[in-house]
A and B are shown apart, each in its own frame.
Chain A
Amino acid sequence: MDVNYIYPEFEIIRNMDRCISCRLCEKQCANEAHLFDAERKIMISDETKCVNCQRCVSFCPTRALKIVKSDCTLKENANWQNDTIREIYKQANSGGVLLSSMGTPKPLPVYWDRILLNASQVTNPPIDPLREPMETKVFLGKKPDSINRDKTGKIICTLPPQIELSMPLMFSAMSYGSISYNAHESLARAASKLGILYNTGEGGLHEDFYKYGANTIVQVASGRFGVHEDYLSSGAAIEIKMGQGAKPGIGGHLPGAKIVGDVSKTRMIPEGSDAISPAPHHDIYSIEDLRQLVFSLKEATQYKKPVIVKVAAVHNIAAIASGIARSGADIIAIDGYRGGTGAAPTRIRDNVGIPIELALAAVDSRLREEGIRNNVSLVVGGSIRSAADVVKAIALGADSCYIATAALLALGCHLCRTCQSGKCNWGIATQRADLVKRLNPDIGAKRLFNLMTAWQHEIKEIMGGMGINSIEALRGNRLMLRGVGLTSKELEILGIAHAGE
């Protein structure tokens, strides 16, 4: 014990009256927080190793376990809080940059929770989705400016490439490497069954998953890992990743320890080498360079695939989006600062970027003011937590939402936020074969299907209440939104009125 020692954050409470020393908890915990004391024939715990992933709690057959927040704390101090002090000790010890996983846990405003939805009363009938058709289908992509006809007067029905979605939701980018083979398989199969898309992230596409190509977005990021001609042509769309909400301005780093077997093959890099994605694309130092990459990818795929440009929500997002909308991109994906990550520098994750709600509102308004909203579709992510968030995002102006954390939760993630350790007990953020097999893709795909179907039902219910029977009529329909407890400036940026107005 030394100056760095802090009592562990969690305590493992074991009810010894219930514990039968079956050692299941020991087997389940990749962090080795549970141990069997052979002499005393009882289970003991090493709480310093516990990450509170709840795996042992979920599997304990006698419900003998619970994990609680430790009440051993430093003297209370509103300015120097426990976490802050703990982080200083860590850095004084290691000299390193702090790393974190998943979205920021900081209590910054969540605007979704300050926005309320409308419903019809008297002057306009609500519509019952059980009785009337209720449509959630959307098409993402550039829309032509004018109608063209052939010599006989028939409309020429050729469209720029579009993505068709059965509902305005997609699984956002998570690479094979940052998450497991089984997690990818679950996402791919669910997307396929649901008529939506999932996203490879920057890890290439495992050869087993090419068959889900019609429901796959293939990503091209700054490391260009796993990018080759067949890869580009295999998906329904190509995404250029310029940034990520959890770490704007920062590249990625998948440690060599995770670059094993198929991950190495799929990424097209040697086993054990670190996969480092640079902060910028080294062929994109400006907007005109982005245009070149957009068209290079289009050329490589015969203009058959829509190109998505994904950016983190940063201060000047409206102007940046306006530039992208004129760059030839078909879709802009914006990732808000609460978005998740497999690993990001803590200070970046918790302090850089802006909330997706404000970014979305600003971008949608700006593109309309410039008359170029039809040039692109808008996809937003960065902590979309429920069907209500989806409805609010669409009403603010999004064409579709990206979800990732919610999808991982459906697969069993308990948001312990230690993905960077690679020891995910739920078989998601790990490459250890013994852990990966814990996630059964049959069950994973089913649970994702259930979650999305449930959200779709809720979206229909909410739309019906508003008297809207198709998602198109909700998109950008900000009159359906009212703010509560927001300042005039916030309302102005969101482009909505306050409740009661």
Chain B
Amino acid sequence: MKKEGQIRIPSGCAIAAVISRSGKLMSGERIIKAMEPMHDRSNGLGGGFAAYGIYPDYKDFYAFHIFFDCRDTRKKTEAFLKEHFEIVKGEIIPTRKIPEITDEPIIWRYFITPLKSVLAELQLDEKEFVARTVVKINSEISGAYVFSSGKNMGTFKAVGFPEDVGRFYKLDEYEAYSWTSHGRYPTNTPGWWGGAHPFTLLDYSVVHNGEISSYDANRRFIEMFGYKCNLQTDTEVITYILDYLVRRQGLTLGEAASVIAAPFWSTIQNKTDIYDKEKHKYLRTIFPSLLITGPFSIVLGFNGGLMALNDRLKLRSMVVGEKDDKVFIASEEAAIRKMEPYAENLWSPAGGEPVIIRVEEGKY
């Protein structure tokens, strides 16, 4: 049987997220609980979390979380990293032995920073070099898979139900101002740890519920720009598209949302604000291959915020709620109530309408 990456596997899912606008730290307990009422939206073949603000002591270093299939692969990868980076710390990611999670790979994390001499030699900016390193390791070092690569953030994922994955990684012991989570329902997979969500590149992480019908159009376009969709999953391609649009093309999150969940031509035609109309026409004309069709609800995590977005027809459920400084997002209201029974202002964002939440400046 072919594993993920050799074949494309569609899947359905559950997502949830919570963020504190004032940057207050929360343990992972709350987000793990959110996934419990949505248990049936997953099938035990993948769960994961992204947490922002968890590595304050190493916040100036890229935190690489890596799966290895064996010790040799780890040695090889470390040797590769040492050539290009200063590694200030490398350690096993602590886990808890529980019967629900088995067959784990070797899981390490490294706090690293690219060598200045290497950057100067390649004439690359730091983020671009780090992004290319992630793509290189994932496509060229067999058995190694970088699943998290941002600063002061980390993702944690595994084959299993999300609640169990959270306990496995001891997420109750981490403190973050923003959490996202995902439970996966792949329709046909032997289950591979790399295939679970979130998908990340630098500090962008994406959890995604849905199956996109534009996948190969998106993939074949984005691969022109140095990305490699090694796992052939929808979420991976969405992550790369957002990285390309926001980091490399300098679009705002709202503009990026207008590319991937573009308004219909008829909607653009009826806009009365001339600049807004021109801009939307322009974005659709120059990035036609980055329109994502088919059902999706996603939460994009990044340093200092979250963006939630539905496909333009809203073919997947997604609810947003608030309480005090906190904003909650989930596939179902039940998940929000589990995180905050007294959540207020619940609403379902319209298709293609991005919900962007930012932590106050200086609070993260």
Contacts and interface: CB of A to CB of B under 8 A. Distances in A.
Contact of A123 (B11, B216, B249, B292): B11
B285 A469 contact: no
B10 interface: yes
Contact of A135 (B224, B265, B283): B265
Nearest to B226: A371
B95 interface: no
B224 A371 contact: yes
A133 B264 CA distance: 8
Interface stretch (B139-147, B274-282, B336-344): B274-282
Contacts of A470: 262, 291, 293
Nearest to A369: B224
B285 A143 contact: yes
A147 B315 CA distance: 30
Interface stretch (B69-77, B124-132, B207-215, B297-305): B207-215
Most buried by A among B265, B275, B285, B313: B285
Contacts of A154: 275, 279
Contacts of B279: 154-155, 157
Interface residues of B, number: 46
Interface in A224-282: none
B295 A125 contact: yes
A155 B282 contact: yes
B253 interface: no
A377 B18 CA distance: 43
Interface in B84-136: none
A93 interface: no
Nearest to A134: B264
B281 A127 contact: no
Contact of A473 (B10, B11, B265, B291): B291
Contact of A476 (B217, B255, B282): B217
Contacts of A476: 216-217, 220-221, 289
Contact of A146 (B210, B249, B262, B264): B249
A110 B264 CA distance: 35
A467 B216 CA distance: 13
Contacts of B224: 368, 371, 373-374
Contacts of B211: 123-124
Interface in B195-238: 210-211, 213-218, 220-221, 223-225
A122 B286 CA distance: 32
A144 B292 CA distance: 20
A479 interface: yes
Contacts of A341: none
B216 A480 contact: yes
Nearest to B186: A123
Contacts of B218: 473
Contacts of B220: 368, 397, 476-478
A293 to B, nearest CB: 27
Nearest to B312: A469
Interface residues of A, number: 41
A501 to B, nearest CB: 8
Contacts of A469: 293, 312-313
A147 B251 contact: yes
B80 to A, nearest CB: 25
A162 B281 CA distance: 12
Contact of B12 (A123, A149, A467): A123
B289 A479 contact: no
B266 interface: yes
Contacts of A477: 213-217, 220
Contacts of A133: 264, 266
Contacts of A474: 214, 217
A312 B148 CA distance: 48
B313 A475 contact: no
Contacts of A466: 213
A206 interface: no
A466 B216 CA distance: 13
A210 interface: no
A431 B312 CA distance: 52
A127 B313 contact: yes
A474 B289 CA distance: 9
A135 B293 CA distance: 11
A233 B224 CA distance: 35
B30 interface: no
A472 interface: yes
B265 A137 contact: yes
Contacts of A132: 313
Given A123-B11, A368-B223, A467-B293, A147 B215 contact: no
Nearest to B2: A501
Nearest to B7: A501
A308 interface: no
Nearest to B9: A123
B293 A478 contact: no
A473 B251 CA distance: 21
B9 to A, nearest CB: 10
A479 B215 contact: yes
B294 interface: yes
Most buried by B among A123, A127, A133, A468: A123
B8 interface: yes
B125 to A, nearest CB: 15
B213 A123 contact: no
12 contacts: A120-B213, A120-B294, A124-B210, A127-B313, A144-B286, A368-B221, A374-B224, A467-B293, A468-B213, A473-B213, A476-B220, A476-B221
Interface of B: 8, 10-12, 187, 210-211, 213-218, 220-221, 223-225, 249-251, 255, 262, 264-266, 275, 278-279, 281-289, 291-295, 312-313, 315
Given A124-B294, A143-B285, 13 more contacts: A120-B213, A122-B187, A123-B10, A123-B211, A133-B266, A137-B265, A147-B249, A373-B224, A374-B224, A467-B295, A474-B217, A477-B214, A477-B220
